[in-house]
Chain A
């Protein structure tokens, strides 16, 4: 199995632009999580899905952030409009159970908003 696949690995964009991060979870996993990692705040859970349904988006910082999971093999995290303070590494993770204690993380997308 290739593991959780995220794209792009790096993204540099100008403030105000729309950014879309993509994630392909491990085949067969029914839970998917989006995290954000920064030096200041560490790892923060933004949103998670179970069976493609968003369960808890209380970690999404603002309405500028949105996430979708149209099917079991694909999810997106969109930021519109992007701001410099959104610069971080965004991780997607998936798991078999509806709990992220055994989550498998992707390699992350490093987002830089200038």
Chain B
């Protein structure tokens, strides 16, 4: 049962371009949506996260857009750089502060070319 669907599976963007990764969720109880970044040979690391009370959150070149009615959220990487080449995972959870579990998307492998 895949509760978070992520697309595309892979993405190639030129340096300076905009990278866009999309996710859709099913469980309306989810109320916390983080994005994780993973470099080869490393564990995932929290990149940016959003709660459904806002439609957008920006941190530097990274922006999350959230559409609660459509149950969709996306990651935008502005001015993409070769150092951004990594695998990106969206995730969702119901942040009750007790027994919550992150459900991850299947990941997007981003390659930023020169």
Contacts and interface: CB of A to CB of B under 8 A. Distances in A.
A74 interface: no
B102 interface: yes
Interface magnitude class on chain A: 20 to 34
Given A42-B106, A42-B107, A101-B32, A56 B101 contact: yes
Interface magnitude class on chain B: 20 to 34
A100 B41 contact: no
Contacts, number: 57
A87 interface: no
User: Secondary structure of the B side of the interface?
Assistant: loop
Given A43-B89, A101-B32, A56 B44 contact: no
Nearest to B89: A43
B95 interface: yes
A108 interface: yes
